[in-house]
């Protein structure tokens, strides 16, 4: 088995096909969090913050709850030819894809034709 395939086999993600008109893929961590938990609150705050940043400057990166065990980090970026307003609309679409296809997943990656959204239950960026 080649190294990239071996590493891909170790990742606890499932790839799902979704009902978005411009979707390329969505990958969801198979581990879930509970509704109403602090992690749930942090994910929702993160996604809202990323969407607001994307609508303003075309991308965003944030970390929530860094000092707690329920921290989450994420980033959202759009293609460079999109206006910030269009990026905000695509960001909203990416959030819908996450909520529909990866409900309560502790990590998610969504690649749309014009944008990419990722969040994880570990820090992979700095705020």
Going from the C-alpha of 6 to that of each of 10, 13, 27, 46, the distances in angstroms are 7, 14, 17, 31
Q: What is the pLDDT of residue 52?
A: 92
Q: Which domain holds residue 44?
A: 17-120
Question: Per-residue pLDDT for 72 more than 90?
Answer: yes
99 located within any domain:
yes
Residues 6 or more apart whose CB falls under 8 angstroms from that of 80 comprise 58
* pLDDT more than 90, % of the chain: 55
Q: Residue 54 sits in a domain of what CATH number?
A: 3.30.430.20
User: 5 is written with which tokens?
Assistant: 């395939």
80 located within any domain:
yes
Q: How many domains does the chain have?
A: 1
Question: Per-residue pLDDT for 9 more than 70?
Answer: no
67 located within any domain:
yes
**Beta strand pairing call for 108-112 and 115-120:** antiparallel
Mean pLDDT within 66-92: 90
**Using one digit for the tens of pLDDT, what is the confidence trace for 30-45?**
999 999 999 999 999 9
126 located within any domain:
no
Q: What is the pLDDT of residue 5?
A: 35
54 located within any domain:
yes
């Amino acid at each position: 088995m080649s190294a990239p395939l071996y590493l891909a086999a170790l990742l606890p993600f499932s790839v799902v096909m979704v009902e978005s008109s411009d979707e390329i893929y969505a990958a969801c961590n198979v581990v879930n969090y509970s509704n109403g938990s602090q992690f749930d609150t942090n994910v929702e705050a993160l996604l809202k913050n990323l969407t607001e940043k994307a609508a303003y400057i075309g991308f965003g990166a944030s970390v929530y709850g860094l000092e707690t065990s329920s921290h989450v980090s994420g980033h959202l970026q759009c293609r460079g030819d999109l206006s910030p307003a269009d990026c905000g609309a695509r960001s909203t679409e990416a959030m819908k894809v996450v909520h529909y296809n990866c409900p309560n997943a502790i990590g998610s990656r969504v690649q749309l034709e014009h944008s990419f959204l990722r969040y994880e239950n570990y820090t992979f960026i700095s705020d």
